[in-house]
């Protein structure tokens, strides 16, 4: 089934010009880029995006980091997109991610791990809507929400 998912390129990866490598890895693995933008999150936006982690030990650090500099939001499309993207992105800790995964390639630490990827279809829908309107997604017909 064709699905959409959301990749967020984190500040250090964007700043160190890893956006091209990440887009290239996505394309080489058959993910179609259907939306892409770069923005700087406010702390309030970062809190809203990561609200499920509120209260965790690392939450305030994560919010400060994610609102510290420019990020890129990428909406991708593929059959079995959400699960396949998680596989390509790899483990949260880049040192534990498999060779060939995005986090192993561009990640530095658990916090600065290169990219965020939606963890399930329900959250992918919410995260895509957080960043994109229909007009900004050429495959918006796949969004039945
Ligand atoms: P991400 O996929 O963006 O989702 C939540 C983020 O919190 C996660 O990637 C990590 O970057 C970060 N994170 C998770 N666990 C920790 C931790 N123990 N310490 C610092 N950051 C963490």
CATH number at residue 74: 3.30.70.141
Residue pair 89/101 in contact (Cβ under 8 Å)? The answer is yes
Residue pair 89/98 in contact (Cβ under 8 Å)? The answer is no
Pocket of ligand 1 (CB under 6 A): 53, 58, 62, 92, 110-111, 113, 116
Mutate to test the pocket of ligand 1, among 8, 12, 58 (most ligand atoms within 8 A of CB): 58
* Residue 83 included in any domain: yes
The catalytic position among 25, 116, 117, 131 is 116
* Residue 46 included in any domain: yes
What whole-number distance in Å separates Cα of residue 71 and Cα of residue 74?
10
Tokens of 143: 């969004």
Nearest to 6 by CA among 33, 24, 28: 33
Measured in Å, residue 62 CA sits from the centre of ligand 1 at: 7
Q: Is 116 a catalytic residue?
A: yes
For residue 58, the Cα-to-chain-centroid distance in whole angstroms is 18
Residue pair 80/3 in contact (Cβ under 8 Å)? The answer is yes
Q: What is the pLDDT of residue 138?
A: 78
Mean pLDDT of successive 10-residue segments in the chain (145 residues)? 96 98 98 97 98 97 98 97 98 98 98 98 95 85 62
* Domain carrying residue 24: 2-140
Kind plus residue range of the DSSP H or E element containing 125: helix 121-131
DSSP 8-state code for residue 118: -
Q: What is the pLDDT of residue 41?
A: 98
* Residue 49 included in any domain: yes
Tokens of 22: 């990440």
Q: What is the pLDDT of residue 135?
A: 85
* Residue 32 included in any domain: yes
* Residue 43 included in any domain: yes
State the total domains in the chain: 1
Of all protein residues, whose CA lies closest to atom 6 belonging to ligand 1?
A: 111
Residue pair 51/57 in contact (Cβ under 8 Å)? The answer is no
Q: What is the pLDDT of residue 141?
A: 66
Q: What is the pLDDT of residue 142?
A: 63
* Residue 112 included in any domain: yes
* Residue 145 included in any domain: no
Kind plus residue range of the DSSP H or E element containing 46: helix 43-49
* Residue 8 included in any domain: yes
Q: What is the pLDDT of residue 140?
A: 64
Residue pair 3/127 in contact (Cβ under 8 Å)? The answer is no
Residue pair 52/119 in contact (Cβ under 8 Å)? The answer is no
Which atom of ligand 1 approaches the CA of 8 most closely? 3
Of all protein residues, whose CA lies closest to atom 13 belonging to ligand 1?
A: 111
Which atom of ligand 1 approaches the CA of 50 most closely? 5
């Amino acid at each position: 089934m064709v699905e959409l998912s959301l990749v967020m390129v984190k500040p250090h990866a964007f700043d160190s010009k890893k956006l091209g490598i990440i887009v290239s890895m996505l394309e080489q693995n058959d993910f179609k880029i259907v939306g892409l933008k770069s923005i700087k999150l406010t702390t309030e936006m970062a809190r809203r995006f990561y609200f499920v982690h509120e209260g965790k030990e690392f939450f305030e650090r994560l919010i400060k980091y994610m609102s510290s500099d420019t990020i890129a939001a990428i909406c991708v499309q593929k059959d079995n997109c959400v699960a396949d993207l998680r596989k390509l992105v790899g483990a949260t800790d880049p040192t534990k991610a498999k060779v060939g995964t995005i986090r192993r390639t561009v990640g530095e630490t658990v916090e600065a791990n290169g990219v965020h990827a939606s963890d399930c279809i329900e959250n992918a829908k919410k995260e895509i809507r957080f960043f994109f309107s229909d007009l900004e997604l050429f495959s918006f017909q796949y969004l039945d929400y």
